[in-house]
Structure 1
Amino acid sequence: MNEALTDLLDLLDLEQIEENIFRGTSRTSLVPRVFGGQVAAQALVAAGRTVPADRLPHSLHSYFLRTGDSGAPIVYTVDQIRDGRSFTTRRVVAVQHGQPIFHLSASFQTYEEGLEHQVPMPPAPDPESLPTAAEALPPYRETFRDPGTVERLLEARGAVDLRYATTPPWGSVGEPREPHSQVWFRTQGKLADDPLLHTCLATYVSDMTLLDAVLLAHGRGGWAVGDVVGASLDHAMWFHRPFRADEWLLYDQVSPSAHGGRGLGQARIYTQDGRLAITVIQEGVVRVPRA
């Protein structure tokens, strides 16, 4: 386990300051604001701390309300909405400087047998055959508007081994193409056998690349390239089958629509042996300067 992953696990180990109230800190990111995936993962940790261990998340729905300040702690207040025989529902509000910055609703379920089917996993190259971020990013250094962006991207993704199976967005600047992207990811080290932890880490990673698919159709090249301004608006996930975040997961992403200053991303996350583990949908603000 590398130092970056150790630091990330520390961030997810929230401090409980009162019943149903938790406090988290932030990590350095590409921009001064708090990374959205971190807030979502911490909120899910807070909710999970109030739920019996035999009930795991099956879905979450969330809204990003305000920009988070990476230099200040975040307080997570959990509202125990309902504890049923099979399902448990929690609502979490993340607060900074006296104002809510993020809202999450999560549902947990005990394991049940039931009907079984899934959409097949799409073709993808073996992750071990693909370049690491440290190998893939530097050749495009001059593409980024800030020369230091590559180093900061590598630092921000240091806890995760993330490998593009398709050309990364900054690899086709000015060349519109199909709004479809694939990345493989896993943590940079083995994790404890805690299903909630693996779910929270997948939630963290899910916010890293999904909205990139929006930009591909327009040849914009990524959020650190050119003049695009963006931010996540909402984020939803459904957890279908067991998985481990320290084993390869394929993140197959597509953008079906961009309109009105917003872009939509949809994705499926598969285990390496082809099981559909997670479905993700996210919408974000996508703005470019008017001509």
Structure 2
Amino acid sequence: MPESLEDLVDLLDLEMIDLDLFRGRQPQTSAQRVFGGQVLGQALAAAGRTVEPERVVHSLHGYFLRPGDTGVPIVYRPEPTRDGRTFSSRRVVASQHGKPIFYMSASFQRPEPGLDHADPIPDDLVPPEEAPTLASVLEAASGRNADDWNKEWAALDVRLAGVSGRQFWIRAAGKLPDEPALHACVLAYASDLTLLGASLLPHGLIIGDRRIQPASIDHALWFHRPFRADEWLLYDQASPSASGARGFATGRLFTEDGRLAASVAQEGLIRPVGLDLDDE
């Protein structure tokens, strides 16, 4: 995982190696596979590099096909599938060792006025300044030192916003440039961090529990309104279902002043490993 916000920004600044062909570097990490949010963010950065700057991303849908190898760069090839008067579509293939590890479709739109409504931000939240850090909460739940968790998530500031364990305050751990495309990539990165864990909470488990083999399978993200990823966003999560060793979770991201900025949906592997399900 990136060791600082600057490191994350560098990860999202892809090297162009040919026309519509980019290379993303890897951070220093002890993880066995590439973090899904990194691939999401880098793939979105690659797609955005091929679109007119005034068109902003409004949705992406990705499938994780193979575990990423943390020891070699990832190559991203965005395909310019369509450029209309208002919308642009891109399909991105991320590859390592000559094989695809991730597919993503993304859609970009020239901003325009229209009808407007949104869900309200939830009530009874702990203000971010008073909320405990996620690292301290996980230290208490897992016994793993908080410094270890903080090192893994050094690019982000994540805090528990409610007692249910499904609401988090989240922001970049520092100031970002005034580039909306970069803020969208950082949010894509962050959106994969805690979401799958919502499908474990009903079973008294957390991500990092060695009795569960977790992995992202697919991920969808819709951008509704302007936001800054370096300002507090409430990540309100729910898990409608878990079955077949898969967990399904949804999330809503609100700005601190209550605007619905984005929505997320994800299905992931939550395969039991040495867990007696009869004891749940």
Q: What's 1:251 paired with?
A: 235
Q: Given the superposition, is the C-alpha separation of residues 218 and 210 from structure 1 closer, same or farther in structure 2, using an over 3 Å criterion?
A: same
Cα pair 1:29 1:152 within 8 Å, conserved: no
1:274 aligns with 2:258: yes
Identity %: 53
Q: For each residue in 1:247-277, what CA deviation from the matched residue of structure 2 results, as whole angstroms up to 9, or x when unmatched?
A: 0000000000001111100010000000000
Cα pair 1:30 1:156 within 8 Å, conserved: no
Q: What is the alpha-carbon root mean square deviation over aligned residues?
A: 1.7
- How far has the Cα of 1:188 moved from its partner? 1.1
What SS does the aligned partner of 1:208 have? coil
Distance 1:192 1:45 in 2: 15
1:165 aligns with 2:124: no
Distance 2:189 2:264 in 1: 12
Runs of 5+ consecutive residues of structure 1 not aligned to the other structure: 168-177
Q: For each residue in 1:182-234, what CA deviation from the matched residue of structure 2 results, as whole angstroms up to 9, or x when unmatched?
A: 000111111111000000000000000001110000001x1212401111000
Cα pair 1:30 1:153 within 8 Å, conserved: no
The 5-angstrom pairing of residues 56-135 of structure 1 reads 56-123=56-123, 124-133=125-134, 135=136
Q: What's 2:150 paired with?
A: 154
Q: What's 2:34 paired with?
A: 34
Runs of 5+ consecutive residues of structure 2 not aligned to the other structure: none
Q: Given the superposition, is the C-alpha separation of residues 273 and 138 from structure 1 closer, same or farther in structure 2, using an over 3 Å criterion?
A: same
Q: What's 1:174 paired with?
A: none
- How far has the Cα of 1:30 moved from its partner? 5.9
The 5-angstrom pairing of residues 224-239 of structure 1 reads 224-239=208-223
Q: What's 2:204 paired with?
A: 219
Letter in 2 for 1:234: D
- How far has the Cα of 1:138 moved from its partner? 4.0
Cα pair 2:195 2:266 within 8 Å, conserved: yes
Cα pair 2:21 2:77 within 8 Å, conserved: yes
> TM (normalized to structure 2)?
0.93
Q: How many pairs are equivalent?
A: 273
